[in-house]
Amino acid sequence: MRLVTAVGAGVGALAAFALTRRPSYDFDGRVVLITGGSRGLGLVMARELVHKHRGRVVLVARTAEALDRAARDLDRPDAVHTITGDVRSAADAERIVQNAAARFGRLDVLINNAGVIVGAPFGDTTDEDFRNSLAVHFWGVLHMTRAALPYLPRPDGRIVNICSIGGKLAVPHLAAYCAGKFAQAGLSSVMAEELAAEGVTVSTVYPGLMRTGSYVNAQFRGQVSREFAAFALASSLPGISMGAERAAAQILRGVRAGRHQIVIPWTIRQTARMAELAPNIASSLFATVNAILPGQADIQSPAVKGAELSLPAPIAMAATLGTRAAERNNEMGG
């Protein structure tokens, strides 16, 4: 009887897999719009798409100079188009999408990758930090998605929302960032459920720390030098962070497979599962991490960009891989 039950369960699982399995998606010739595409993970994904998948990319960022450097890096004028714009503006989102579709005659994939980070204790995080995080991570995704939907093909349209493990787990000293990412994760999950009926596949990506060099352009409040050092170190060490190229490859592989949730790497996936099963234990562990981090500053001060700060020599040496990633991924130019 047990054998029959086991076999039945196995057959049921295989049937469910067969029903939900989707054919692999091909980026060859597709037009992919990437917000926050001038540097970091956005630029790394653009390299992968253009040079390995023969796709065409539209890179969006607020700074023309950064976009020009990214275009030179990709070195494919026929397959790369850049647009300056701010995803926080619904009007800009409409203009961006119309420009992209006009340039290549189509739009197949939207990757909502634009992001902002403020590293600070909760007490040093301002209302403006929270507003800006929600403006980029929530409203920016909503504006770009609404603008892009009329152009995406059916049934092969793709929307990829680059969220963060900070959209599943509350990470100390990233209060504004996590608030924006939790909102983004909720929006993206609902989009995945509803837009599937229209033939648009939505993938929500939850990466852990990546070696993109993003700490250079992050902002910090409180004891800024110590906040910067902690973030740079965590974003650079193997075992804690993953290589940006590996992350980009895994993300695009998950998108091609039509996965609704992509949690990377494996260690982060298991951490997220543990937190779901034992939320109180996870909360206690993060409280321990918080106790190690710098405390609140005595005097409120303006946010300071990572590029304006320097690392102590031992931390700088330990963060070598992060510094190299920042140089390679156009983070140093501002």
User: Catalytic amino acids?
Assistant: 177
Alpha carbon distance 140, 33 (integer Å)? 14
State residue 109 phi and psi, 5-degree precision.
Answer: -140, 135
Backbone region of residue 80 per phi and psi (left: phi > 0; alpha: psi in -120 to 50; beta: other values)? beta
Q: How far apart are CA 183 and CA 275, in angstroms?
A: 18
Give the DSSP H or E segment for 12.
helix 2-20
Rounded Cα gap, residues 303 and 105, in angstroms: 42
Give the helix ranges, DSSP H, for 170-300.
175-195, 224-234, 244-256, 266-277, 279-292
Tokens of 174: 């990233």
Per DSSP (E only), the strands in the chain are 31-35, 56-61, 80-84, 109-112, 118-119, 157-162, 200-207, 210-211, 219-220, 242-243, 261-264, 304-305
Nearest to 231 by CA among 172, 317, 170: 172
- Contact in structure between 243 and 211 (CB atoms under 8 Å): yes
Residue type, 196: A
